[in-house]
Chain A
Amino acid sequence: MRLRNWIANLVRNFTQSRQVDRELDEEVRGAFEIFVDEKASAGRSRASARRAAALEFGGIEQVKEEIRDIRAGALLETFWRDVRYAFRMLARSPAFTFVAITTLAVGIGANTTIFGFVYAVVLRPLPLENLPRLVTVYMTDARNPGERGVSLKNFVDFRDRNDVFEAMTAEGFANVSLEGGNGEPDRVLAEIVAGNYFATLGVKPILGRTFLPEEDRTEGASLVAVLSYPLWQSRFGGDPTIVGRTMSVNNHPFTIVGVMPAGFRGIESVGGAALWMPTMTYPVATTGQVLQGVPSRRFDWFLATGLLKPGVTLLQAEANLKAIARQLEQSFPNDNGGRSVGVRRLGLSPEERRTIATSVGLLMTIVGLVLFIACTNVANLMLARATVRQKEMAIRQTLGASRGRLMCQLLTEGLLLALMSGLAGLLLAQWAQDVVWSYRPPNLGADDIDLQLNVQVLGFTLIVSMLTCVLFSLVPAIRASRPDVVGELKGTTSHIGGGGRRRNVRHTLIALQVALSLVALVSAGLFIRSFQAARQIDLGFDVADLAAMRFELAAQGYTQGQGREFQRQAIERATAVNGVRSAALADLVPLSGGGQTRTVFIEGEDLRDSRNGRIVPTGIVGASYFETLGIPLVRGRHFDERDQSTAPLVAIVNERLANMLWPGQEALGKRVKLFNTDFHQIVGVVRNSTYGSLGSEPPPILYRPLTQVYQSNLALLIRGKNPDAVIGTVRSQIRQLDQKLPITNVSSLSDVLYSALWTPRMAAWLLTLMGGVSLLLAAVGIYGVTAYSVSQRTRELGIRVALGAPRYDVIWLIVGQSLRVSFIGLTAGLAVSLIATRLIAGLLYGSALDLVTFVSVPLVLAAAVVAASYLPARRATRIEPTIALRSDL
């Protein structure tokens, strides 16, 4: 009842506000007149009665204000009025509004952009229905740290013997050749998955169905596949009748049974497979080492995911699986010796998390700094503006506004600014995100990330805007709501020097801005140097003259004999091309990886105990591999015609592997063995080189000759003066040998290096951009504050000039003050940077205590401070002393 009344009154007060107000005025005024009548009837004159009445009654406006305050919806009405007033005030000073919104929009936009990426890659939960109960099951090896996969046989045993999972599924990635639909034959990333994969994850297809249990039962029997949404769109044009059609995978016909929804990428948050096939298609889908390895219990190639039964905890699951692992160790000591199992929540591994956390942390800190600087700029602007509006505030206080009301009004202005900036920042972020994504690393496709605007990003923007509002409007609002009423109305408030306490606040803000800019610029400087260092890393081979391409023969159905013949002809044709100095085949390509990771045993180790042996990268290389790459031979000899398949097995090691296996001894002549091979004799030692990511230590590598070990998945490497020019010719030569063979990854190694340097380059760019923005904002802030303080001191400066002070003295007075204030900021910023850079040292290729950076950045900042305060200072000296003395400030 009360509520209904209240709402009814609220509506009336709102919709008929003018009439309500008129009645209010009539009532109170009428009451006042009646009061005067009473007094007058007691015999006084009307005038004196009025005076007496006025004293007793209190002000009419005050009474009206009291009534208004308790009326229904008074608060809302006040707020709405504040908003309209704020709008008018902001519209009246368009320059201020424009600068403030632009500044804040840049800060908010930067934060939203970064957050958008962070959310899409790290924070967004995967679109899997069963996500809360999904866990990753990984295996561990006693001798080699890190998470490993699960072999198919082990997976089956875990699946059948466990008590903790409602379901367990497995998946493995494989590159396959795809033909069908639009476009040339291509190689795409496929996943072979257990039949219950989609059901376990909890996702349904948008077309057709997923796999039936019988389709994952017999090896090579059911050649069926499920397409991913991007593949369905790009290769098959989104054909709604796609279910039931066939395509050719690795030269075998596969029936398409379903299509997955957009946004589903398996358990990856970025990237992911183009199509899925049952595990039992592995005889067709996989080749070479993987094909041989899948039936082996030792080949821990698959990734396993489990769906916990309701109520089962991670610890319980891990204990249960560990018990099974022990059983398997006893039953299969050779394959599972030293191998145990672990369970963790689905998502990034702890190692991935750590890397991402540092880089994300750095980015978000820097954009946070930029935002903070932007806020201090706007706060300074608002402080200056508040000083100008002193008279307005004083009058409002006289009319009965309490300090709280004045503050509310000012905060509402700040709120309006913040919301408008937030909106502008959001739009800016949408554009910026697209720009940043267009510079993505080359191995990611356009659809690999979902950057569409979502509730979380909106919410983040809103929160940041609110925070911004508090930051920049609170202090000015507090200060502005405390005007010297009497002084203002009389016009005698002095502004000499711009007010003591206010000046301190402004100076503190400037020092803060300088400090934060310094931190941002130091980060930028460090990452620029890091990028330079990365480019100068000695890779161990000559990048400039090299180019490569890949092709996979077994997928096209080549037997070993046919494959070797093709490879021989390929080398022949390649070397014959004009401009090619030498060519070689290998599965190991510098900077692009490849090769296989195998367990290597040295002679003398107990081979049956699989706890012995090191897991190292190995490569299969053809003749003149090392010459082509420019990797020098340190000792011994190259592979040559002696090393045929009938001859004794040989191998070459790099220095790192030699030191690892035989520290302090000569590696030449020693013998090693892989798990299922005979002994290889070491005939040569070569220099280290980088095969995987930059900056990590060159790995230990074992090389085996192509003539003795057949490999169907190879890269063709060519060396020549102008690799970009000749690689096309070589490619068409190879194509002539087989039109249907997909040839992929055709590029010069300089291009590959360029891509490999993506991370340090991107980091340097982004941070330089942010550093530049913060420098600009700080400079603008200093300019504004100096200009303002100069305008406040016009009279004083005019006096100085009139008394004969030389121009440069006056200039130095002002610039010197800015420098003094900034000096505090510089020192503070340096201290913070020195401490903070320790945290990001892991991300840098160079040293975190780079002298060049730490010396040049403060100098650059100091120069900016001088420049920014010089301009207004110079203008000050141009003031005619007579005008200055007459100025009314």
Chain B
Amino acid sequence: MAAKVTPLVQGTLDLLILKALASQELHGLGVSRRISDITRGTFQVQPGSLFPALHRLEEAGWLSSTWGSSENNRRAKYYRLTKAGRRQLDQEQQDWNRISVAITRALEA
């Protein structure tokens, strides 16, 4: 049930990552766990897809990262939303709502 990173779903992955980091700062695996939580287990993102996405979003300027230590005192990179990232999250949320409404309507027609 893992999400494959196709171009179509890539946009969704970005949205999920941004949402996962909306309320707190997390490291890579933490983001993956949080996504799994907030989607009630529907999406289990593999590290091979997650980490590249995190780096991409960081290079785009929507996330920023710092080094910190994890629960077991291991060094890990923690990601958080930037102000631009927050704006992007709002934007993508609106887009997603519009799209889903339109498709739902189409399917009921």
Q: Are A58 and B55 in contact (CB under 8 A)?
A: no
Does B83 reach chain A (CB closer than 8 Å)? no
Nearest CB in chain A to that of B84: its residue? A1
Least CB distance from B39 to A in Å reads 18
Does B91 reach chain A (CB closer than 8 Å)? no
Q: Are B72 and A67 in contact (CB under 8 A)?
A: no
The segment from A22-30, A124-132, A273-281 found at the interface with B is A22-30
Contact of B52 among A31, A35, A69 (CB under 8 A): A69
Q: Are A71 and B55 in contact (CB under 8 A)?
A: yes
Interface residues of A in 5-59 (CB under 8 A from B): 5-6, 9, 23, 26-28, 30-35, 37-38, 57-58
Does A879 reach chain B (CB closer than 8 Å)? no
Which residues from chain A contact B105 at a C-beta distance below 8 Å? Answer: none
Does A490 reach chain B (CB closer than 8 Å)? no
Q: Are B29 and A67 in contact (CB under 8 A)?
A: no
Bound: A420/B56 CA distance, A: 37
The number of chain B residues touching the other chain, given as a range, is 20 to 34
Which residues from chain A contact B72 at a C-beta distance below 8 Å? Answer: 34, 37
Q: Are A30 and B47 in contact (CB under 8 A)?
A: no
Which residues from chain B contact A38 at a C-beta distance below 8 Å? Answer: 29
Does B11 reach chain A (CB closer than 8 Å)? no
Does A72 reach chain B (CB closer than 8 Å)? yes
Bound: A31/B77 CA distance, A: 9
Does B41 reach chain A (CB closer than 8 Å)? no
Q: What does the 1/0 interface line of B50-64 toward A look like (CB < 8 Å)?
A: 011001100111000
Least CB distance from B19 to A in Å reads 20
Which residues from chain B contact A34 at a C-beta distance below 8 Å? Answer: 27, 29, 70-72, 74, 76
Q: Are A31 and B55 in contact (CB under 8 A)?
A: no
Bound: A5/B56 CA distance, A: 11
Q: What does the 1/0 interface line of B61-96 toward A look like (CB < 8 Å)?
A: 100000000111011110000000000000000000
Contact of A57 among B27, B47, B56, B59 (CB under 8 A): B47
Which residues from chain A contact B75 at a C-beta distance below 8 Å? Answer: 26, 30
Does A2 reach chain B (CB closer than 8 Å)? yes
Which residues from chain B contact A435 at a C-beta distance below 8 Å? Answer: none
Known: A5-B61, A26-B75. A62 touches B48 (CB 8 A): yes
Contact of B59 among A5, A23, A33 (CB under 8 A): A5
- What total of A-B pairs shows CB separation below 8 Å? 65
Q: What does the 1/0 interface line of B1-44 toward A look like (CB < 8 Å)?
A: 00000000000000000000000000111000000000000000
Nearest CB in chain A to that of B54: its residue? A67
Nearest CB in chain A to that of B75: its residue? A30
Residue from A2, A31, A57, A72 whose CB has the most chain B CB atoms within 10 Å: A31
Which residues from chain B contact A2 at a C-beta distance below 8 Å? Answer: 60-61
Least CB distance from B65 to A in Å reads 9
Which residues from chain B contact A31 at a C-beta distance below 8 Å? Answer: 27-29, 47, 51, 76
Which residues from chain A contact B70 at a C-beta distance below 8 Å? Answer: 30, 34
Q: Are B59 and A6 in contact (CB under 8 A)?
A: yes
Nearest CB in chain B to that of A1: its residue? B61
Least CB distance from A8 to B in Å reads 9
Interface residues of A in 417-459 (CB under 8 A from B): none
Contact of A37 among B51, B61, B74, B77 (CB under 8 A): B74
Nearest CB in chain A to that of B72: its residue? A37
Which residues from chain A contact B49 at a C-beta distance below 8 Å? Answer: 66
Does A63 reach chain B (CB closer than 8 Å)? yes
Bound: A163/B46 CA distance, A: 81
Known: A26-B75, A30-B76, A70-B52. A9 touches B29 (CB 8 A): no
Nearest CB in chain B to that of A27: its residue? B77
Least CB distance from B78 to A in Å reads 10
- Interface size of A by CB at 8 A reads 27
Q: Are A58 and B48 in contact (CB under 8 A)?
A: yes
Bound: A829/B36 CA distance, A: 69
Bound: A72/B57 CA distance, A: 11
Which residues from chain A contact B71 at a C-beta distance below 8 Å? Answer: 34, 37
Bound: A31/B75 CA distance, A: 9
Least CB distance from B52 to A in Å reads 5
Which residues from chain B contact A23 at a C-beta distance below 8 Å? Answer: 77
Known: A34-B70, A71-B55. A58 touches B76 (CB 8 A): no
Interface residues of A in 57-85 (CB under 8 A from B): 57-58, 62-63, 66-67, 69-72
Least CB distance from B11 to A in Å reads 15
Known: A1-B61, A30-B70. A70 touches B28 (CB 8 A): no
Which residues from chain B contact A35 at a C-beta distance below 8 Å? Answer: 29, 47
Which residues from chain A contact B27 at a C-beta distance below 8 Å? Answer: 31, 34
Least CB distance from B49 to A in Å reads 8
Nearest CB in chain A to that of B53: its residue? A70
Interface residues of A in 179-233 (CB under 8 A from B): none
Least CB distance from A281 to B in Å reads 77
Q: Are B59 and A63 in contact (CB under 8 A)?
A: no
Bound: A34/B46 CA distance, A: 14
Q: Are A67 and B51 in contact (CB under 8 A)?
A: yes
Which residues from chain A contact B60 at a C-beta distance below 8 Å? Answer: 2, 5
Bound: A37/B72 CA distance, A: 8
Q: Are A67 and B59 in contact (CB under 8 A)?
A: no
Known: A34-B70, A37-B72. A58 touches B47 (CB 8 A): yes
Which residues from chain B contact A27 at a C-beta distance below 8 Å? Answer: 28, 51, 76-77
Least CB distance from B21 to A in Å reads 16
Contact of B56 among A1, A62, A70 (CB under 8 A): A70
Least CB distance from A806 to B in Å reads 63
Bound: A561/B27 CA distance, A: 114
Known: A27-B76, A30-B75. A66 touches B52 (CB 8 A): yes
Q: Are A33 and B74 in contact (CB under 8 A)?
A: yes
Which residues from chain B contact A62 at a C-beta distance below 8 Å? Answer: 48
Which residues from chain A contact B77 at a C-beta distance below 8 Å? Answer: 23, 26-27, 30
Which residues from chain A contact B29 at a C-beta distance below 8 Å? Answer: 31, 34-35, 38
Residue from B51, B56, B59, B77 whose CB has the most chain A CB atoms within 10 Å: B59
Bound: A31/B59 CA distance, A: 20
Least CB distance from B54 to A in Å reads 8
Interface residues of A in 814-873 (CB under 8 A from B): none
Bound: A71/B54 CA distance, A: 11
Residue from A63, A69, A72 whose CB has the most chain B CB atoms within 10 Å: A63
Which residues from chain B contact A63 at a C-beta distance below 8 Å? Answer: 47-48, 51
Which residues from chain B contact A72 at a C-beta distance below 8 Å? Answer: 59
Which residues from chain A contact B47 at a C-beta distance below 8 Å? Answer: 28, 31-32, 35, 57-58, 63
Nearest CB in chain A to that of B69: its residue? A30
Bound: A67/B53 CA distance, A: 8
Interface residues of A in 116-167 (CB under 8 A from B): none
Least CB distance from B12 to A in Å reads 17
Contact of B51 among A1, A6, A28 (CB under 8 A): A28
Bound: A33/B75 CA distance, A: 10
Q: Are A66 and B51 in contact (CB under 8 A)?
A: yes
Q: Are A70 and B55 in contact (CB under 8 A)?
A: yes
Which residues from chain B contact A70 at a C-beta distance below 8 Å? Answer: 52, 55-56
Least CB distance from A583 to B in Å reads 93
Least CB distance from A562 to B in Å reads 95
Nearest CB in chain A to that of B58: its residue? A9
Q: Are B74 and A67 in contact (CB under 8 A)?
A: no
Which residues from chain B contact A6 at a C-beta distance below 8 Å? Answer: 59
Which residues from chain A contact B74 at a C-beta distance below 8 Å? Answer: 30, 33-34, 37
Bound: A30/B30 CA distance, A: 12
**Given A37-B72, A57-B47, 13 more contacts at CB 8 Å?**
A6-B59, A27-B28, A27-B76, A34-B70, A34-B71, A34-B72, A34-B76, A62-B48, A70-B52, A70-B56, A71-B55, A71-B59, A72-B59
What are the 8 closest A-B residue pairs judged by CB atoms, nearest first?
A27-B77, A31-B28, A9-B59, A70-B52, A66-B52, A30-B76, A58-B48, A37-B72
B-side residues, CB < 8 A to A, are: 27-29, 46-49, 51-52, 55-56, 59-61, 70-72, 74-77
Q: List 18 A-B contacts (CB under 8 A).
A: A27-B76, A27-B77, A28-B51, A30-B70, A30-B75, A31-B27, A31-B28, A31-B76, A34-B27, A34-B70, A34-B71, A34-B72, A35-B47, A38-B29, A63-B51, A66-B48, A66-B49, A72-B59
